[in-house]
């Protein structure tokens, strides 16, 4: 996953301590003006290079898959309590990029100004260190914000945008999780969106040598849009980029606790939101009731219609594998 490998972001204080302690060791290995030169070179390299690495470890959001781009934006809007999200992160990274260049420039500037007198060179080196420290003070909040963004994004659920995907939707307790467990042999991975305590269940199955993923998103696609907050609604928008087909579960018995009319209204809303993705309506819990019009009828409890429901989802997509060119 693109954010999982992001390294821990150091604090300003940690970088300063590392740079100046390494510089002191470098200075002890030399004498006179050369020692001051070595200290300036070491400190500016450590600060500049580390800041550069923090910036370049982040992906270019203009080339991130739209699913992860929109989801990251939603999460960062929550993290920063801001409407800008990814754009605010870009601004923080821009400040770090400026500081990287500035600390390198300061190293070159003060090395070029060192006099031949060792004591005066030592005084000028201290001045250079002071200016580098001032730069680091200016970006203290930026480093903290980038670190918070990294921590928020590293635990994103690993949904693969390039794998054919079945998105499972419907009110709570209508049989979605039982179905996902049944068709994936219980090989379920669970992850949490950083802005919700609800887990995202991701399972996989194979059909005709193609691996598919099922995504069940409790807390997002199990209630109407007017009950979701703005951040959760954007997460739903992100899911539209990976959903190749929607399996919408309806409990005709209403044993789930929600009237059938409400379930059908949510089905229409989800269908509109996902646009071109086909929507397959599943009447679940047919051991209790099958008194609705649906594309599939199924009971995990009774062991009926489960395979047929999965086949209906696959057939609705009509996905064909890319085969090597044959003459």
The helix (run of H) or strand (run of E) holding residue 283 is strand 279-284
For the segment 102-124, what is each residue's pLDDT rounded down to a tens digit? 999 999 999 999 999 999 999 99
Nearest to 61, CA basis, from 73, 51, 52: 73
For the segment 129-180, what is each residue's pLDDT rounded down to a tens digit? 999 999 999 999 999 999 999 999 987 778 888 899 999 999 988 988 889 8
Cα torsion 302, 219, 3, 18 to 10°: value is -130
Range of weakest confidence among 7-21, 182-196, 301-315: 182-196
Range of weakest confidence among 115-124, 182-191, 219-228, 291-300: 182-191
In angstroms, rounded to a whole number, what is the distance separating the alpha carbons of residues 93 and 15? Answer: 16
In the block, which residue shows the tokens 């090989």? 187
Kind of pairing between the strands at 189-192 and 199-207: antiparallel
Strand order in the sheet with 245-251: 189-192, 199-207, 210-216, 165-169, 245-251, 279-284, 296-297
Statement: residue 187 has pLDDT above 70: no
Q: How far is CA 83 from CA 73, 87, 273, 314, in A?
A: 9, 9, 22, 38
Statement: residue 18 has pLDDT above 70: yes
CB of 238 within 8 A of CB of 74?
yes
Q: Tell which wins on pLDDT, 190 or 226.
A: 226
| pLDDT, mean over the chain | 90
Mean per-residue pLDDT, 271-276? 91
> What percent of the chain has a predicted confidence (pLDDT) above 70?
92
What pLDDT is attached to residue 197?
53
Q: Longest Cα pair distance anywhere in the chain, in angstroms?
A: 95
Statement: residue 312 has pLDDT above 80: yes
List helix spans (H) across 154-206.
Answer: 176-183
In the block, which residue shows the tokens 């049989």? 175
In the block, which residue shows the tokens 């696609």? 221
């Amino acid at each position: 996953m693109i954010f999982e490998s992001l390294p821990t972001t150091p604090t300003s204080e940690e970088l300063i301590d590392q740079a100046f302690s390494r510089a002191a060791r470098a200075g002890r290995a030399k004498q006179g003006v050369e020692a001051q030169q070595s200290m300036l070179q070491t400190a500016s390299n450590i600060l500049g290079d580390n800041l550069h690495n923090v910036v370049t470890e982040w992906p270019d959001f203009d080339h991130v898959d739209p699913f992860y781009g929109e989801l990251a934006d939603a999460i960062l809007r929550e993290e920063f309590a801001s409407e800008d999200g990814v754009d605010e992160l870009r601004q923080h990274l821009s400040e770090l990029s400026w500081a990287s260049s500035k600390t390198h420039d300061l190293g070159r500037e003060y090395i070029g100004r060192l006099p031949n007198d060792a004591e005066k060179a030592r005084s000028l080196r201290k001045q250079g260190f002071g200016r580098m420290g001032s730069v680091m003070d200016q970006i203290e909040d930026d480093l903290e914000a980038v670190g918070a963004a990294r921590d928020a994004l590293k635990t994103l659920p690993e949904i693969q945008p390039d794998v054919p995907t079945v998105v499972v939707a419907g009110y709570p307790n209508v049989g979605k999780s039982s179905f996902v467990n049944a068709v994936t042999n219980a090989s379920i991975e669970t992850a949490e969106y950083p802005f919700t305590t609800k887990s995202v269940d991701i399972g996989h199955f194979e059909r005709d040598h193609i691996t598919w993923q099922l995504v069940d998103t409790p807390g997002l696609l199990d209630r109407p849009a007017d009950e979701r907050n703005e951040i959760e609604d954007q997460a739903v928008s992100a899911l539209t980029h990976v959903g190749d087909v929607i399996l919408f579960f309806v409990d005709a018995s209403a044993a789930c606790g929600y009237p059938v009319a409400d379930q059908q209204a949510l089905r229409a809303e989800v269908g509109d939101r996902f646009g071109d993705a086909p929507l397959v309506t599943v009447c679940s819990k047919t051991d209790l009731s099958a008194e609705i019009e649906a594309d599939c009828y199924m009971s995990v409890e009774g062991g009926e219609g489960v395979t047929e429901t999965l086949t209906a989802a696959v057939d609705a997509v009509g996905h064909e594998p890319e085969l090597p060119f044959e003459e």
